[in-house]
Amino acid sequence: MPRDEVPTPELPVQVPLVTEPWGILKSLEVARRNLLELIPEVATRQPIVSGRTAVRWHMVMDPEANRYILKDAVDNYPKSDVTKLILKPAIGESLFIAEGAHWRWQRRAAAPVFSHRNISNLGPIMSLAAERSSERLESAVGRAANLFDEMVTATFEVISDVTFSGGEKFDRSAVHAAIDKYIAQTAKVSILDIFGAPGWIPRPLRMISSGAMREMKRMADGAIEARRASGPHNVPDLLDLLLEGEDPKTKRTMSTEELRDNLLTFIVAGHETTALTLAWSLYLLAFDPTVQARARAEAQGVLQGRTATADDVENLPFIRQVIDEALRLYPPAAMVSRIAREADTLCGREVRAGDTVMLPFYALHRNHLLWDHPHAFNPDRFSDPKAIDRYAYLPFGDGPRICIGASFAIQEAVIILATLISRFRFSRVPGKEPKPVLILTLRPEGGVWLKVERAGPEGAAKAA
């Protein structure tokens, strides 16, 4: 090989970004396949990119502008109508959808639910799910398994147990199926969304799962009413905590419908996003066996063969770094969209009232102006969290609308990942690389297929 032909290091899977201008029909075709493929490649090298596809739009990858949009001028940048049209049929006017005063009182009422104490109290449920996942993977030893499916199962066990721990009048498998069908089939961009058609005009694909969604809401309403009648559990779950929740300012409490919409929001967001974080983390550990050995050494050293608990999380810093890096490379909410209510200026560029302002976190997290070797897997980036620009890394958003369940998700991910990596070794399956595809969340199309083997104590010795 000639001296100047140095082989390029292999990189984890990534999305092919746009390198040429597209019209609206091509954009719509691509959007239905993978929203991330609409991002121009130049967005990984500039602070802002603007264009017009039926409407004027701006993609922002600048930390200071992100801070301004998400925190300082948040009222001027509400969530886009497209986001609301997609999600409202499933989760109504919940925290994720609501704006203004209706959002503020719900946020005040729900915030205490996700206190550090309450989240720590839910740790045993997360540990039990990690143990069950480990037991299931035992049966996969020596062969390939779809770890995405396994992580979806594990995280759905957690969210259903912390939401409806009594299980009264609540068919978990039916709810799981309805959510999966909604995300996979109906949370896709319609041409009616692109042109801003009002929500009362039917979107044919979204009508496919409407019956399942109605049944899911009916079951949730029944479970809420049953809990009102029976009273709280000894260790309160999310439903108990929300039933007790009250806006300290207005003393308002949530109706059954408001409780249901918010609980369904937590179920939809709370298991899908954490499952994705774990699946991508396992893929990356299989991609880099050296990093995997280091993560295993830490987990085995702390856990000594037992299942991880909430008390272990602070003693597993490298496991947390792996999760943080997975969230950088494959953020579950890989792109969010806002609408400018009033004329403004972002990064020196004119923004008109009505313009769409997109925050493509996938491009932000891979921007060459902000990160060294941005497409590479390197958990050591997060060895000193203070060295990371707060608004260059936004897996949970920021500002007043930062994800209310962020600490819940991190605790769950660390507990499950540490438990599994301490007991198993994962390796890639040739020809089975996952493809990052954004529909509603950044999913691994085709699954995350990895070979599963038991990891003896020699894992720690090799890494030392």
What would the pLDDT profile of 271-283 be if each residue is shown by its tens digit?
Answer: 889 999 999 999 9
Q: What is the pLDDT of residues 88-125, one digit of tens each?
A: 777 778 888 888 889 899 999 999 889 999 999 999 99
48-53 and 55-60: which strand pairing?
Answer: antiparallel
Instruction: Give residue 271's identity as a one-letter amino acid code.
Output: H
Residue 203's pLDDT is 53
Phi, psi (degrees; rounded to nearest 5) at 51: -170, -170
- State yes or no: pLDDT of 8 exceeds 70: no
**440 pLDDT band (50/70/90 cuts)?**
confident
**Packing angle of the helix pair 289-303, 406-423 (nearest 10 deg):** 100
Strand extents, DSSP E, 360-456: 424-428, 435-438, 442-445, 449-454
Task: Write down the catalytic residue from 164, 361, 377, 403.
Answer: 403
**459 pLDDT band (50/70/90 cuts)?**
very low
CA-wise closest residue to 376 among 328, 314, 437, 427? 328
Q: Is 396 a catalytic residue?
A: yes
Q: Of 71-85, 124-138, 191-205, which has the strongest mean pLDDT?
A: 124-138
Task: Compute the average pLDDT of residues 362-379.
Answer: 97
Task: Write down the catalytic residue from 287, 361, 377, 396.
Answer: 396
Q: Name the CATH topology of 24-463.
A: Cytochrome p450 (1.10.630)
Gyration radius of the chain over CA positions: 22
Residue 34's pLDDT is 81
- State yes or no: pLDDT of 326 exceeds 90: yes
CA distances to 158, 164, 182, 355, 361 from 172, rounded to whole Å, are: 12, 9, 15, 41, 32
Task: With 0.75 as the threshold, say if the pTM is over it.
Answer: yes
C-alpha–C-alpha distance, residues 401 and 389, integer Å: 19
Place of tokens 């109906």: 186
**265 pLDDT band (50/70/90 cuts)?**
confident
b/e burial code for range 397-429 (CB count within 10 A of at least 16 → b): bbbebebbbebbbbbbbbbbbbbbbbbbbbebb
**199 pLDDT band (50/70/90 cuts)?**
low
* Bigger pLDDT: 149 vs 194: 149
User: What residues contact 183, with CB distance under 8 A and at least 6 apart?
Assistant: 268, 272, 439, 440, 441
**450 pLDDT band (50/70/90 cuts)?**
very high
**193 pLDDT band (50/70/90 cuts)?**
low
Residue 462's pLDDT is 45
Residue 92's pLDDT is 79
DSSP secondary structure code for residue 78 in this structure: P
**Packing angle of the helix pair 406-423, 256-287 (nearest 10 deg):** 40
Q: What is the pLDDT of residues 227-260, one digit of tens each?
A: 888 877 777 888 888 889 899 999 999 999 998 8
C-alpha–C-alpha distance, residues 149 and 387, integer Å: 35
* CB atoms inside a 10 Å sphere around CB 354: 13
CA-wise closest residue to 280 among 425, 151, 419? 151
Q: What is the pLDDT of residues 206-222, one digit of tens each?
A: 554 566 677 778 888 88
Both tokens assigned to 93? 């006017």
Residue 239's pLDDT is 87
Task: Compute the average pLDDT of residues 295-307.
Answer: 97
- State yes or no: pLDDT of 294 exceeds 60: yes
Residue 463's pLDDT is 42
- State yes or no: pLDDT of 32 exceeds 80: no
CA-wise closest residue to 360 among 326, 333, 323? 333
C-alpha–C-alpha distance, residues 265 and 267, integer Å: 5
CA-wise closest residue to 267 among 172, 160, 161, 165? 160
Instruction: Give residue 56's identity as a one-letter amino acid code.
Output: R
b/e burial code for range 249-284 (CB count within 10 A of at least 16 → b): eeeeebeeebbbbbbbbbbbbbbbbbbbbbbbbbbb
Q: What is the pLDDT of residues 138-154, one digit of tens each?
A: 999 999 999 999 999 99
Element (H, E) at 101: helix 100-110
Q: Is 318 a catalytic residue?
A: no
CB 129 within 8 A of CB 416: yes
b/e burial code for range 298-336 (CB count within 10 A of at least 16 → b): bbbebbeeebbbbebbeebebbbbbbbbbbbbbbbbbbb
Residue 35's pLDDT is 80
Q: Is 273 a catalytic residue?
A: yes
Both tokens assigned to 125? 């449920």
Instruction: Give residue 431's identity as a one-letter amino acid code.
Output: G
On average, the pLDDT of the chain sits at 86
* CB atoms inside a 10 Å sphere around CB 389: 12
Residue 176's pLDDT is 73
HSE toward the beta carbon, residue 229, CA cutoff 13 A? 8
Q: What is the pLDDT of residues 372-427, one digit of tens each?
A: 999 999 999 999 989 999 999 999 999 998 999 999 999 999 999 999 999 999 99
CA distances to 96, 154, 337, 390, 422 from 119, rounded to whole Å, are: 20, 17, 29, 23, 23
User: What residues contact 109, with CB distance under 8 A and at least 6 apart?
Assistant: 242, 245, 246, 247, 252, 253, 254
Residue 209's pLDDT is 53
Residue 3's pLDDT is 46
